A = this chain, B = another copy of it.
Amino acid sequence: MRMSELSRRSGVSVTTIKYYLREGLLPTGRQTAATQAEYDEQHLRRLRLIRALTGVRGLSVSGTREVLDALGEHDGDTHRLLGLALGTIRLPADTARDEPETAEVDALVKELGWQVHQNAPARGTLAETITSLRSLGVPLDWHTLLPYARLAERTAALDLDQLDGIEDPLEAAERALLLTVLLEPALMALRRMAQENESAHRHAG
């Protein structure tokens, strides 16, 4: 299909598609002539993925590129994709270095008995959150986070269950990415609703 058809079927304007091509989010089409190119269903799928990551999840264009690159470089080992490639997704928090609370995070991970890469960005996010909340007077330490971590364990188990039965490793990798990244706003939305409900129940009694 041509770019205009790609635009029509994806709902993304031609100029924006050109922008994504420039930014390396979308691979170039197959050139059929000097000024003509052909796109296929893969491009359409990729475009929908881009819109989901930037729109629903609110990822930046550069963040989206990192995710998509990780998906492309993935070597057939879904475990590595989950552990490393998804680790490249920077949460908004992930700019600070030399967080003083890394010891706290180490203690938590040790207590949980988790195997987590030492350089995982998630560690930094966690450390920074602890620092922030403490500076605001919330007495948070790894003991407080432990029950949350146990629930996260069970959430992760659900996530991986969704990947069972997918035989194509590339498809499994993409599914893993979709579930990990796109489900985040949904899980937080569920938490909000659960808080409202729980709060109503506690105040009713």
Residues of A within 8 A of B (CB): 45, 48-49, 52, 55-58, 78-79, 82-83, 86-87, 91-93, 109, 112, 114-117, 120-123, 125-126, 128-130, 132-133, 135-138, 144-145, 147-149, 151-160, 162, 175, 178-180, 182-203
Contacts and interface: CB of A to CB of B under 8 A. Distances in A.
B199 A109 contact: no
Given A185-B125, A187-B148, A200-B79, A194 B58 contact: no
Given A79-B203, A91-B188, 8 more contacts: A56-B92, A56-B128, A130-B186, A149-B190, A151-B154, A157-B198, A159-B195, A187-B191
A93 B156 CA distance: 22
Number of chain copies forming the complex: 2
Contacts of A86: 192, 195-196
Nearest to A120: B193
A139 to B, nearest CB: 10
A193 B124 CA distance: 12
A58 B92 contact: yes
Contact of A175 (B117, B138, B195): B138
Nearest to A96: B55
A201 to B, nearest CB: 8
A187 to B, nearest CB: 6
